[in-house]
Amino acid sequence: MKIAIGLPAFNEEKNIASIILQLKKKYELIIVCDDGSSDLTSAISEEMGAVVVKHKKNLGYGSAIRSLFVKARELECDILVTFDSDGQHNVLEIHDVIEPILKNKADIVIGSRFLGKIEGNIPQYRKLGIKAITNLVNSNTEKKITDSQSGFRAYNKIVMEKIVPSESGMGVSTEILIKANKIKFRISEVPITISYEGNMSSQKTLSHGTSVILSTMKFISIEHPLKFYGIPGSIFLAIGLFFVVWTLQEFTETRRIITNISLIAIGSTIFGMLLTMTSILLYSLVSVVRERR
Ligand X SMILES: Nc1nc2c(ncn2[C@@H]2O[C@H](COP(=O)(O)OP(=O)(O)O)[C@@H](O)[C@H]2O)c(=O)[nH]1
Task: Quote the least distance from Cβ 84 to Mg ion, whole Å.
Answer: 5
Residue 107 interacts with ligand X (CB under 6 A)? no
To the nearest whole angstrom, how small is the minimum distance from the Cβ of residue 42 to ligand X?
12
Task: Write the CB contacts of 193 (distance below 8 Å, at least 6 apart in sequence).
Answer: 90, 93, 113, 116, 117, 118, 119
Residue 151 binding result from Mg ion, ligand X, none, given CB thresholds of 5 to 8 Å by partner type: ligand X
Question: Nearer to Mg ion by C-beta: 195 or 221?
Answer: 195
Using rule CB under 6 A, residue 155 touches ligand X: no
Q: Work out the end-to-end distance of the chain between its first and last CA atoms, rounded to an integer number of angstroms.
A: 31
Residues shown for the chain:
293
Asked if residues 240 and 268 have their Cβ atoms less than 8 Å apart, the reply is yes
Q: Which of 23, 35, 71, 219 binds ligand X (CB under 6 A)?
A: 35
Shortest reach from residue 111's CB to ligand X, in Å: 12
Alpha carbon separation from 108 to 26, 101, 160, 169 (Å, rounded): 21, 7, 10, 20
Contact call for residue 82 and ligand X (CB under 6 A) = no
Binding test (CB under 6 A) with ligand X, winner from 6, 60, 116, 240? 60
CB atoms inside a 10 Å sphere around CB 188: 18
What is the C-alpha separation between 152 and 154, in angstroms, rounded? 7
Give CA angle at 113 (91, 30), nearest 5°.
30
Which residues make up the interface to Mg ion (CB under 5 A)? 86, 88
CB 162 within 8 A of CB 183: yes
Contact call for residue 61 and ligand X (CB under 6 A): yes
CB of residue 199 to ligand X, shortest distance in Å: 10
Residue 201 Cβ, how far from ligand X at the closest point, in Å? 4
86 binds ligand X (CB under 6 A): yes
The CB-of-169 to ligand X minimum distance in angstroms stands at 8
34 or 86, CB closer to Mg ion?
A: 86
Q: Which does 64 bind (CB under 5 to 8 A by kind): Mg ion, ligand X, none?
A: ligand X
User: Is position 201 an interface residue for ligand X (rule: CB under 6 A)?
Assistant: yes
Amino acid at the residue 210: T
Q: Which helix (H) or strand (E) holds 251?
A: helix 231-254
Closest CA to 227 of 143, 150, 153, 283: 283
Residues contributing to the site for ligand X (CB under 6 A): 8-10, 12, 33, 35, 58, 60-61, 64, 84-86, 88, 151, 201-202
